[in-house]
Each structure stands twice: as C-alpha cells, then as structure tokens.
Amino acid sequence: MTVLIIACAAFGLLIGSFLNVVIYRVPAGLSVVSPPSKCPGCDEFIKPRDNVPVISWLLLRGQCRNCGQPISARYPLVEMLTAVVFAAMAAHFGFDWQLPAYLYFAAIGLALAAIDLDTKRLPNVLTLPSYAVALVLLLIPTVLDNRWPDFVRALAGAAILFGLYFVLAMIYPAGMGFGDVKLAGLLGIYLGWLGWSSLIIGGFLGFFLGGVVGLALMALKRAGRKSAIPFGPFMVAGAFAAVFIAEPLSAWYLGAIGA
C-alpha cells in the first residue's frame, strides 16, 4: 500500500504540472499540447530542467531563469495539492479497479475548480467529455467486480444532482449557472457510485462550504449579498470530502439515532 501511495503522489506531481497548463490555456482557447510552455516575460521556452514539478520553482526561487520574471506560487501549489489528493485517493481505495476513475476525478475536479476561481466559468470542453471518461473508467470495476448496482446508482446520482441543480438554476439564474448544473451531473456519477450517503452528503457539503465562505467574505466586507462567487470550487471540495467522510459520518449518524 505504501508503494502505491508514493507512486500515486509522484504521478500526481506530474499531473499537477500538466493541470497548470490546462488551467491557463483552456479558458483562453489554446491547445494544451503545443507549443511548449514559455515565459510570458522574455518569451523563452521553458527548459526541461526548469519544468520539474515543485523542485524547479524552489531552485529558481520563483523566478524565470532568463529574465527574472516572477513565477506564481500557484504553480507549485497546484502540483503539491494534486499529489496530496492523489495520495489520499490511493490510501482510500488501495489496489482497486475503481482507483483510476477517482484519480481522474481528482485531476479534473482540481482543474475545473481552479478555472472557475479564475474566470467564473466551467468550460464544456472539460466537463462534458468527463462524463464519458467517468463512465468508461467505472465500467471497468463494474464488469470485473460485478458491481452493476453501483453503476446504476452512479447513473441515478448523475440524474439526481443534475436535476436538482437544473431546478435551482431555473429558479435563481443569478446565483446558479449552467456550468454548475453540468458539473453537478459529473459529481453525481462519482458520488452515486460510492453510495446514497455519499451522494447526499457530498451534495450538501457543496452548499454548506459555499455558504460558510460567503458569510465569511461578507463579514470581512470582501463581498456583498449580490457578489458573484464561483460555486464550482465548493462543489468539488464537498464531493472530495464526501469520498472520505460520507461513509463513516453516515454510520455514526445512524448509530447515534439507533437506526
């Protein structure tokens, strides 16, 4: 298990480096494949030795080797966060056929959350294909481990969260965008696969976290009641948390009420 966790963490660093490219280029409509990354200050392509996740940023002290242009600390933070979430997923699922699906979930969730923070958009080019990727990756454990009830529940979870968010968007379009609706369906697949408690708790936590942060920002006078706050990051954070805590939390609650 330790080897798996370390391997997934190292893999997460590499994926995190690629996510930085996705986060910057996808909203701008640029290819994530070419051209290679370059410094916006001196327009020089970044050499491989300066593109090692986290380490290069530390060695360069957060500056371009050629012109000294500052390199945002968000780059190593995204890489480290991806590594941590990948390691957590590996520790949680272990050597299981469902692990690849949840590693993809971690990657796409982090990318969409960061893009939403930057642009208040959740690009269809990332969200919609992820439905197919999620279902294909979950179909592997479905077939190999005969988990058809879980697969059906994943489809139901997608429909339930999509429908809930769709209704909310129709009732209050100023507070809920259709990007959130499409993301909700994707999250519903992953949460529904794990169980009804994960679906319920994951869906609730998104609203809870968004409400807490919104109230905190208003208390600090950083936002008003009508301020547009991207909701995608809270949806993703709630879903991530549910992966790890929904089952024990549900068991504790049922035990507390004597069910």
Closest CA relative to residue 112, chosen from 39, 32, 22 = 22
Q: Which two tokens stand for residue 154?
A: 């994943």
For 109-128, what is the HEC assignment?
HHHHHHHHHHHCCCCHHHHH
Residue 54: CA count within 13 A, CB half-sphere: 16
pLDDT of residue 61: 84
pLDDT along the chain (259 residues), means of 10: 95 96 93 83 81 89 84 93 98 96 98 95 96 98 97 98 94 85 97 96 94 83 74 95 91 71
- How confident is the model at residue 258, as a pLDDT? 64
**pLDDT on residue 226:** 67
Helices (H), 26-73: 55-59
> What pLDDT, on the 0 to 100 scale, is given for residue 259?
57
- At 188 the pLDDT is 98
Which are the contacts of 77, defined by CB distance < 8 A and separation ≥ 6? Answer: none
From CA 162, how far away is CA 182, in angstroms rounded? 7
What pLDDT shows up at residue 224? 67
- pLDDT of 42 reads 83
> What's at 15, amino acid-wise?
I
- Residues contacting residue 89 through CB under 8 Å, at least 6 positions apart: 8, 99, 102, 103, 105, 106, 243
Closest C-alpha to 190, from 120, 130, 145, 250: 130
Boundaries of every domain in the chain: 1-95, 97-259
